[in-house]
Amino acid sequence: MKIKKAELTAVAVRENQYPAEDMPEIAFAGRSNVGKSSLFNTLVNRRNFARVSGSPGKTRTINFFETRLINHFRINDSWYLVDLPGYGYAKVSKSQSKEWGPMMENYLENRSNLLKVVQLVDVRHAPSAQDVQMYDYLRYHGLDGIVVATKADKVSRNELNKNINIIKKTLKLGADDIIVPVSSLKKTGVEALLDVIEVIISGSTAAASEESPAEE
């Protein structure tokens, strides 16, 4: 299963700039410099799809990418991949931080077609207090359940297993929560993540079809 299409559709700081709520959405959140842009490039198999910067805090808007999955049965599912601003970067001005808070809250709490938020954490470190706060927030709003542990190529296999257990414990992941270790450099874990996304999108599409009134 792979992503066949990915195009930037909207760049938003206000609700009236969002695209129509006509397709399911999965958003990605994480601390600044957690490897979100590199993950996007790997997911869509395009080197410059998302600009990778050595300066954290570059994403300052909510970016919507119209995306199409093609699975093993050659069925296309269209959805929005949503790139949320990174959090936790100390050098961002206080005024910007104040703007991002309400912008994020408005999107996460009011977007009716938002299915899940994938939270990214750096597998080399225990989740920060802000990571825990974010996951608790997602849990409260029913958007939790998927964690991507980035930069998996930077640790040994033993460290990876140990650190994943630390992430599970720190974020208080439940039995149904999914954690996917991913290396954007080696492209490991990407297929597993796409499979998770496919299940969510396909389930949403099937539910919408069942709710639609039959044509007479």
pLDDT tens by residue, 141-188: 999 999 999 999 999 999 999 999 999 999 999 999 999 999 999 999
* Residue that wins the pLDDT comparison between 102 and 155: 155
Between CA 163 and CA 82 the distance in angstroms is 27
pLDDT interval class at 32 (50, 70, 90): confident
Q: Report the DSSP pairing between strands 62-70 and 25-30.
A: unpaired
pLDDT exceeds 80 at position 92: no
Confidence of residue 131 (pLDDT cuts 50, 70, 90): very high
pLDDT of residue 112: 95
- The first and second tokens of residue 167, run together, are 């992430």
Residue 195's pLDDT band (cuts 50, 70, 90): very high
CATH 3.40.50.2000 for the 2-201 domain, yes or no: no
The residue length of the chain stands at 216
| CB 1, CB 69: distance < 8 Å | yes
Tokens representing 76 are 């296309």
